[in-house]
Copies of this chain bind each other. A is one copy, B any other.
Amino acid sequence: MTGTELLRQLAVPNDTKLVLLVMDGLGGLPDPDTGKTELETAHTPNLDTLARHGSVGMTVPIIPGVSPGSAPAHLALFGYDPVQYQIGRGVLSALGVGMDLGPEDVACRVNFATQRDGVITDRRAGRIPTEEAERLCRKLAEIQVPGVTVDIRPEMQYRAVIVWRGPGLSDRVTGTDPQIEGRPPLAVRALEPEAEATAAAVNRFVEEANRVLADEPRANTILLRGFGRLPGIPTVGELFGLRAAVLAIYPMYRGLAKLVGMTELNAGDSFADQVEALRRAWDDYDYFFIHVKGGDSAGEDGDFARKVRVIEEVDALLPGILELKPDVLAVTGDHSTPAVMRRHSWHPVPLLLSSRWARPNPWVSGFGESECARGALGHIRSQELMGLMLAHGLRLQKFGA
Given contacts A63-B384, A361-B370, contact A400 B69 (CB under 8 A): yes
Question: Are A67 and B391 neighbours in the complex by a CB distance under 8 Å?
Answer: yes
| Shortest Cβ gap from A41 to chain B (Å) | 15
With beta carbons under 8 angstroms apart, the residue of B92, B387, B401 that contacts A63 is B387
Q: A178 within 8 Å of B by Cβ?
A: no
With beta carbons under 8 angstroms apart, the residue of B86, B363, B379, B387 that contacts A65 is B387
Question: Are A66 and B361 neighbours in the complex by a CB distance under 8 Å?
Answer: no
Binary contact readout A357-401 vs B (1 if CB under 8 angstroms, 0 otherwise)? 101111100000110011110111000101111111000101111
8 more contacts with CB within 8 A, not counting A361-B373, A362-B370, are A29-B359, A58-B378, A63-B387, A65-B391, A66-B387, A66-B396, A66-B399, A86-B400
Q: List 15 A-B contacts (CB under 8 A).
A: A6-B62, A7-B65, A35-B360, A62-B399, A64-B384, A67-B391, A69-B400, A69-B401, A73-B400, A82-B399, A87-B401, A343-B398, A345-B391, A361-B370, A373-B374
Docked Cα-Cα span, A30 to B64, in Å, equals 30
Docked Cα-Cα span, A64 to B390, in Å, equals 10
Q: DSSP majority for the A interface?
A: loop
| Shortest Cβ gap from A293 to chain B (Å) | 15
Q: A71 within 8 Å of B by Cβ?
A: yes
Number of copies: 2
Question: Are A401 and B92 neighbours in the complex by a CB distance under 8 Å?
Answer: yes
Docked Cα-Cα span, A175 to B69, in Å, equals 49
Residues of B within 8 Å of A374, CB to CB, are 363, 373-374
Residues of B within 8 Å of A58, CB to CB, are 378
Chain B residue with Cβ nearest A35: B362
Chain B residue with Cβ nearest A375: B373
Q: A344 within 8 Å of B by Cβ?
A: yes
With beta carbons under 8 angstroms apart, the residue of B6, B71, B396 that contacts A401 is B71
Q: A129 within 8 Å of B by Cβ?
A: no
Residues of B within 8 Å of A83, CB to CB, are 1, 6
Q: A271 within 8 Å of B by Cβ?
A: no
With beta carbons under 8 angstroms apart, the residue of B1, B89, B400 that contacts A87 is B400
Docked Cα-Cα span, A131 to B370, in Å, equals 57
Question: Are B357 and A345 neighbours in the complex by a CB distance under 8 Å?
Answer: yes
Given contacts A362-B35, A370-B362, A398-B68, contact A63 B346 (CB under 8 A): no
Within 111-142 of A, Cβ neighbours of B (below 8 Å) are at: none
| Shortest Cβ gap from A7 to chain B (Å) | 7
Residues of B within 8 Å of A390, CB to CB, are 65
| Shortest Cβ gap from A160 to chain B (Å) | 16
Question: Are B360 and A30 neighbours in the complex by a CB distance under 8 Å?
Answer: yes
| Shortest Cβ gap from A250 to chain B (Å) | 14
Chain B residue with Cβ nearest A74: B400
Q: A341 within 8 Å of B by Cβ?
A: yes
Residues of B within 8 Å of A1, CB to CB, are 83-84
Q: A3 within 8 Å of B by Cβ?
A: yes
Top 10 closest pairs, chain A to chain B, by CB: A65-B387, A65-B391, A378-B379, A69-B400, A72-B400, A69-B401, A346-B391, A64-B384, A65-B388, A3-B63
Within 168-227 of A, Cβ neighbours of B (below 8 Å) are at: none
Within 317-356 of A, Cβ neighbours of B (below 8 Å) are at: 341, 343-348
| Shortest Cβ gap from A345 to chain B (Å) | 7
